[in-house]
Structure 1
Amino acid sequence: MVQRMTELDPSRKNLKDHLLTHAVRTGDFVLKSGRKSNWFIDGKQTACHPQGIKLVADIILSEIEGIDAIGGLTMGADPVAYGVAAIAADRGQPLRSFSIRKEAKDHGVEGRIAGALYKGDRVAIMEDVVTRGVSPLEAAEVVRAFGAEPVMIIAIVDRGGTCEAMAKQAELKFFPLLTAPDLGFEYEGP
């Protein structure tokens, strides 16, 4: 299980504050899995916000090395991957981005990959929020089938607490920027 120090570093503390202000809602919600929860996080409210994506990118870019491209399943990965790659370019760090379509196209550029992913790339699979970990693992399989090498899964928030074990089974590192407990909630995995 992802371990945290007693206190978050300043970058993660700022990200936590942004998420709690802009992305976390309490009430009665039904999750993608069909389970009910008393809290919901819309990671795109941070990923699509100028200060939010900068906070996310600052943490990711300080932690990843040797990664050629970042991306994942559309929609959860898109704003994060594109934003992080743009900020990386401004800093002189070469990092490309891509999306994985829900279904393969049968016209134009065919297949599920859209964007600047090349065979042989070392890839960070991105997701805004993971609960069970199914989506990023699906993305990793699509990337492998394409001929690139997924090496890690990055999530803005791990709300489920189960993705780390699943990633390890798939021989991938798991790197959540924050966890549900960091935000003051219990894990809600399967």
Structure 2
Amino acid sequence: MNAIADLLITCKAIEFGDFTLASGAKSRYYVDIKTAVTHPEFLEAIAREIAKRYTFDVIAGVAVGGVPLAVAISLAAKKPFAIIRAEEKDHGKKSLIIGDVKGKEILLVEDVTTSGSSALYGISVLRNAGAMANRVVTVVDREQGAEETLKKQAVDLIPLVRVSEIL
């Protein structure tokens, strides 16, 4: 098993029970990366791993789960980050993106992918803003269709851990 998978287990990021996922699907387990990244050693390990493996101009994350990951990776890689809002605000600049992405190569980071809808939303927002976005790194892929969904839009899904490695 890889080091990130070991840390997921150590941080108790996998819980068993009856859960409803963001996609609406029911599951007997929940992958809680949002809580796991509150542990500095886990967040730092993920950030270091992604920063050393991938090249990009800007790291981006969809609020809420991708934001702490994007910030940590930004610090580890010494590269800018961008935040993709879940919805447009009706005040201020009203932009869906905080950060400069136009014409830049973006690496989108996700905490967990299931159907791929959140990642696809992030990629779409980035592309509409003039960014080059065709890769998504996810901490855990639940292996429930995200890879296929993204591939249809010419996007590569790169999981640090597949759920089958830790269940």
Aligned counterpart, 1:60: 50
Q: CA deviation digits over 1:82-133, x for unaligned, max 9? A: 11111222xxxxx21111112212322221111x323101111111001100
Distance 1:148 1:169 in 2: 18
Aligned counterpart, 1:98: 82
Find out whether 1:74 has 2:63 as its counterpart.
Answer: yes
Aligned counterpart, 2:136: 153
Answer yes or no: is the 8 Å Cα contact 2:15–2:29 preserved in 1: yes
Distance 1:33 1:161, change over 3 A: closer
Q: Provide structure 1 residue ranges, at least 5 long, that are not aligned to the other structure.
A: 1-7, 90-94, 185-190
Give the secondary structure class of the aligned counterpart of 1:105. coil
Q: Tell me the CA shift for residue 144 of structure 1.
A: 0.8
Find out whether 1:121 has 2:104 as its counterpart.
Answer: yes
Instruction: Give TM-score, length-normalised by structure 2.
Output: 0.92
Find out whether 1:36 has 2:19 as its counterpart.
Answer: no
Q: Tell me the CA shift for residue 171 of structure 1.
A: 1.1
| Equivalent of 2:74 in 69, 85, 98 | 85
Distance 1:14 1:71 in 2: 23
| Equivalent of 1:178 in 154, 161, 165 | 161
| Equivalent of 2:16 in 1, 22, 26 | 26
Aligned counterpart, 1:141: 124
Query: Over aligned residue pairs, what C-alpha RMSD do you find?
Result: 1.4
Distance 2:28 2:154 in 1: 33
Q: Does 142-151 or 31-40 show the bigger shift?
A: 31-40
Q: Give the counterpart letter for 1:152 in structure 2.
A: R
Radius of gyration: which is bigger? 1
Distance 2:90 2:100 in 1: 19
Q: Tell me the CA shift for residue 62 of structure 1.
A: 2.4
Q: Tell me the CA shift for residue 30 of structure 1.
A: 1.7
Q: Provide structure 2 residue ranges, at least 5 long, that are not aligned to the other structure.
A: none
Distance 1:142 1:36 in 2: 28
Percent of aligned pairs with the same amino acid? 32
Instruction: Give TM-score, length-normalised by structure 1.
Output: 0.82
Q: Does 138-147 or 21-30 show the bigger shift?
A: 21-30
Matched residue count: 166
Q: Does 77-86 or 101-110 show the bigger shift?
A: 101-110
